Chain A
Amino acid sequence: MLSSYQESIAIFLGVNVLMAFSVYVPTSAGLISLGQAGFMAIGAYTSAYLTSRFTSFDVPFGLALFLGGAAAGIVGVLVAAPAVRIKGIYLIIATLGFGEIVRVLFVNFEPLGGASGLAGIKPLTTLSWVVATCILFFAFLWRLRSTPLGRAFVAIHEDETAAEAMGINLFRTKLMAFGGGAFIAGIAGGLYAHFALFIDPSQFGFSKSAEAFLFVILGGSVNPLGPVAGAIVVTLLPEFLRFLQDWRMSFFAVLLIACAVWRPGGLISYRRAAHP
């Protein structure tokens, strides 16, 4: 059996894998997001409110998770509708701004605790919940690659104009990719909230979004194995580097620079996928 320390690391790892998936889905359609923590926050707050604040009846955990993901997904589609018109650097900065807006809105939203956070969330997240969710999404994303939708994502990623000429509805497909990523981030947020038991807006800031982005860019985005690899490396490495004490993030930083130089397409990548 796992010790409680190992179990908590495993649960964090699972949440991070899901966050990596949430960046991977839009990335596979060429949409880079640096604001996934915003969707994670929406899922976390929604599901925590449903399981722990309704006194009249208890919403089952699975349903609360799904509703949290759905809330994030709907917001994702709403955000994506105007955002898919913009590309590249513009989209990166716009998503970054979106993530910050969500954080600030939660800071100012007193019914959910405002800046002081939401405490007293029921401890419903278990390792089996996390593992089951990860496996479910991994299988789904693995299969997705050989469906028309998954192929449409890749086509858009490679060349938008050519994809459109092939009859792909750019707007609808991009909306699916962005909304899907947001949905997964919402689920990850729900699992996180019911494990951390206390959430406040500062937990969903830019560094969370940047971390999720790094999982995918480090791991690679040609298939779902890349984000898993990225999440594992980024989550576990600091644990193994504990002997470095105050300097372990520096070691990690140097590793990031080295990866950017030598594996720009990610750890798991095709040779030609290095420069899209």
Chain B
Amino acid sequence: MILLQQIINGVMLGSTYALVAIGYSLIFGVLRLLHFAHGEVFMVGAFIALCSVWYLHVGPVLAVVSAAVGCAALGVIIEFVAFRPVRRRSGGMLAPIVSSLGVGLLLQEVATNIFGADQTRFPPQFEATLYHFGSLFVTSTQLFILGTSFGLMLLVHLFITRTKYGLAMRAVAENVDVAGLLGINSNAVVVLTFAVASALGGIAGVLVGFAFSAISPFMGISMTIKGLVVMLIGGLGNVYGAMIGGLVLGIAEVLTVGYLASSYRDAFSFALLILVLLVRPQGLFSGGLRAGH
């Protein structure tokens, strides 16, 4: 039973990893580039939610919405400032890493100057109610996090498979030139991708804020690294791989903390990464931004 309880906690942690990694996968799927400021978008999401809770006294749902909208806008700005000019001058694979690292530094310093370098307390958003399922218990915060993240994953699935925009996204991921010939505005698709990916990242930031009741300007760095690891475990650019990879990593981390030692938590995730690279370098689920069959 303790094991099952641990797994529930792991799924909760993993679902936030999954949201971040889905963003990475969407951007990588469409652009074939790494976005090293995505963790900072996640961090900004948490602070946007904190501000709307502080100043507008909104509830948890509106806090999530405000972070999603704010981060979508931020993501679009990042695309216009750090990715599009580099792409237009054919900067290759490395120049966008430099520019996005730059954006990450900038966001970190802005957040540090506004909120201070220490942790900021995130006020609790839920009555501390415990729901019992047999001998298992889940708090209301955990239920909200699980509901939100799995709801979003379903939405992402429907968006990619059922809408015109999702179809356009998959077409550009498959082949930019052919997509262009078929009348798809690939630049618009890229902007849309950044908006969706960043909104998901921002929401993950709020959920982590809810879960741990504390946020800091430096919480993004480890998320950048973990998001990349999860994306690679799931298969580069594969949205469903990112979802499953995130959950796997979350569960693995919680079990490591529970049964080994908390200081080995991160080592385990990277060992998993190296193992996947050695045994199955294309990731557990290979194949790009393809959905279904």
Chain A residues near B (Cβ < 8 Å)? 32, 82-83, 85-86, 88-90, 92-94, 96-98, 100-101, 104-105, 107-108, 115, 206-207, 210, 213-214, 217-218, 246-247, 249-250, 252-257, 259-262, 264, 274-276
Q: Are A275 and B92 in contact (CB under 8 A)?
A: yes
Complex interface: chain A residues within 8 A of B62 (CB)? none
The 9 closest A-B pairs by CB, nearest first: A256-B102, A264-B91, A260-B99, A264-B95, A104-B267, A253-B106, A253-B105, A97-B270, A253-B102
Does B82 touch A at the CB level, under 8 Å?
A: yes
Main secondary structure of the interface of A (DSSP, over half): helix
Q: Which of B11-19, B63-71, B274-282 contacts A (4 or more CB under 8 A)?
A: B274-282
Please provide the chain B residues from 96 to 131 with a CB less than 8 Å away from any CB of chain A in the complex: 96-99, 101-106, 108-110, 112-113
- Is A250 a contact of B236 with CB atoms below 8 Å? no
Would you call B175 an interface residue if the criterion is a C-beta within 8 Å of the partner chain's C-beta atoms?
A: no
Q: Which residues of B come within 8 Å of A, CB atoms? A: 28, 32, 34, 36, 81-82, 85-86, 89-99, 101-106, 108-110, 112-113, 221, 225, 228-229, 232, 236, 261, 263-264, 266-267, 270-271, 273-274, 277-278, 281
CB contacts (< 8 Å) of A92 on chain B: these are 34, 97
Residues of A within 8 A of B81 (CB): 257
* Interchain CB contact (< 8 A) of A90 among B32, B95, B232: B232
Bound CA–CA A115/B32 (angstroms): 37
Q: Which of B89, B101, B236, B264 contacts A256 (CB 8 A)?
A: B101
CB atoms of A250 and B232 under 8 A apart: no
Let me know if B98 and A276 touch, CB within 8 A.
no
Assess whether A261 is in contact with B99, with CB atoms less than 8 Å apart.
Answer: yes
Q: When the two chains form their complex, are residues B92 and A274 in contact, meaning their CB atoms are under 8 A apart?
A: yes
| Chain B neighbourhood of A90, CB < 8 A | 232, 236, 277, 281
Is B274's CB under 8 angstroms from A217's CB? no
Using Cβ atoms and an 8 Å threshold, which residues of chain B touch A83? 277
Query: Are A105 and B109 in contact, with the CB atoms below 8 A?
Result: no
Q: How far is the CB of A79 from chain B (nearest CB, A)?
A: 9
Q: Which B-chain residue is minimally distant from A32 (CB atoms)? A: B94
- Does B90 contact A275, Cβ atoms closer than 8 Å? yes
Q: Which of B34, B85, B229 contacts A89 (CB 8 A)?
A: B34
Instruction: Report the minimal beta-carbon distance from A219 to chain B, rounded to whole angstroms.
Output: 11
Contacts of B92 in A (CB 8 A): 264, 274-276
Contacts of B28 in A (CB 8 A): 89
Shortest beta-carbon distance from A64 to chain B in Å? 27
| Nearest B residue (CB) for A35 | B270
Q: Which residue of B lies closest to A92 (CB)?
A: B34
Query: Is the CB–CB distance between A264 and B106 below 8 Å?
Result: no
Bound CA–CA A88/B97 (angstroms) = 12
Cβ of A89: which chain B residues have Cβ within 8 Å of it?
28, 32, 34, 93, 236
B236–A247 touching, CB < 8 Å? no
Partner pick for B101 among A85, A108, A210, A264, CB 8 A cutoff: A210
Instruction: Identify the interface centre among A207, A210, A246, A255: most chain B CB within 10 Å of its CB.
Output: A210
User: Contacts A249-B105, A253-B102, A256-B105 known; A94 to B273 CB distance under 8 Å?
Assistant: yes
Given A264-B86, A274-B92: A250 in contact with B261 (beta carbons within 8 A):
no
In the complex, which residues of chain A have a beta carbon less than 8 angstroms from the beta carbon of B102?
Answer: 252-257, 260
Other 8 A-B pairs with CB < 8 A, given A260-B96, A264-B95: A89-B93, A96-B228, A108-B261, A214-B101, A249-B105, A254-B102, A255-B102, A264-B92
The answer for the CA separation of A196 and B220 in the assembled complex, in Å, is 27
Contact of B98 among A98, A206, A254, A256 (CB under 8 A): A256
Nearest neighbor of B224 in chain A, beta-carbon distance:
A206
* Known pairs A85-B281, A217-B94, A264-B91; A100 contacts B266 (CB<8 A): yes
From A87, which residue of chain B is reached at the shortest CB distance? B281
19 contacts between A and B (CB under 8 A): A85-B281, A89-B32, A93-B228, A94-B232, A98-B274, A100-B267, A108-B264, A207-B221, A213-B97, A217-B95, A249-B108, A250-B110, A253-B102, A255-B102, A256-B101, A260-B95, A260-B98, A262-B89, A274-B92
Q: Is the CB of B263 within 8 A of A104?
A: yes
> What is the CA–CA distance of A231 and B28 in the complex, to the nearest angstrom?
30
Question: Provided the pairs A214-B98, A261-B89, A274-B91 are in contact, do residues A104 and B229 lie with their beta carbons within 8 angstroms?
Answer: no
Central interface residue in B102, B104, B228, B229, by most chain A CB within 10 Å: B102
A228 to B203, CA, bound (A): 41
Asked if A101 meets B91 with Cβ closer than 8 Å, knowing A96-B225, A246-B109, the reply is no
A82 to B275, CA, bound (A): 11
**B residues in contact with A252, CB < 8 Å:** 102, 105
